[in-house]
Structure 1
Amino acid sequence: MSGPLGPSLAPYVRSSRTLSKWLKPVATWYANLSGYRKVGLVYDDLLVEERPDVQRALSRLTPREAYDRAYRFKRASHASVLHKDLPQSEWTKPEEDVRYLKPHVLEVVKEDQERHVWDTINVARK
């Protein structure tokens, strides 16, 4: 899969128990190293918002999800201004780091592909 979410080998890794067992600790280590959890963000907060498909997906968030997203950004920018991470009790835990925007983005991409198919259909007279 490619697009706004980028290429992903995750389905292949999840299908293999051995690969999943070996790569899960590396993935957890990398997510902790990247530092977005230390300022209270979740992974989908890092998606590039300037893409039109991501903008449309953001407009489909529920009011609660939009509020939570804005709050996380405000808290993260405040921590950035202070040059400090949040207290460890306020870090995003791995089980809380869920992909809330991914279903919306995939839906928008699917709609765009369907629209492209319908817009480029060849109608032939019998």
Structure 2
Amino acid sequence: MALRTTAVLCNNMKKWAYNLAGFNKYGLMRDDCLYENDDVKEALRRLPDHVVDERNFRMVRAIQLSLQKTILPKEEWTKFEEDKLYLTPIVEQVKKERKEREEWEKNY
């Protein structure tokens, strides 16, 4: 019983923090906010074109809304349950490959 209560509380805190961050009010997803270093750029290169196009649309819309100093209507906000990590697994794979390559070059 205590574990279930803790899980519910933890999930509610995640939703609260997600909404507090504010990027969802512009229609962005968590992975849209990643800093674009070399690993993220490589991961973006590996994504299918339609996913990159969707990401670019969200980014341009968010920039436009920010310049207009407005946000989307509440029904268009990205919901915590709908936000999926589409880029993070690929970024982790790219980092792993880079570290493996660096280790290989160091040893051989």
Fold similarity call, TM over 0.5: yes
Identical-residue share of aligned pairs (%): 41
- Provide, for residues 70-98 of structure 1, a one-character-per-residue CA deviation record: whole Å limited to 9, x for no partner: 00011111111111110112111222211
In structure 1, the residue matched to 2:60 is: 74
Aligned-pair distance for 1:113? 1.5
Quick one: higher RCO (CA 8 Å, sep 6+), 1 or 2? 2
Q: Distance in 1 between matches of 2:72 and 2:79?
A: 13
**Structure 2 residue identity aligned to 1:31:** Y
In structure 2, the residue matched to 1:29 is: 16
Tell me which stretches of 4 or more aligned residues in structure 1 moved more than 3 Å.
Answer: 16-21
Q: Distance in 1 between matches of 2:52 and 2:23?
A: 18
**Structure 2 residue identity aligned to 1:69:** R
Aligned counterpart in structure 2 of residue 65 of structure 1, from 51, 56, 65: 51
RMSD of the TM alignment (CA)? 1.6
Unaligned 5+ segments in structure 1 are 1-15
Q: Distance in 2 between matches of 1:61 and 1:17?
A: 37
Unaligned 5+ segments in structure 2 are none
Quick one: structure 1 residues 17 and 109, their matched pair in 2 at CA, closer, same or farther if it must change by over 3 Å? farther
**Structure 2 residue identity aligned to 1:33:** L
Q: Distance in 1 between matches of 2:95 and 2:4?
A: 30
More helix by share: 2
Q: TM-score, normalised by structure 2?
A: 0.89
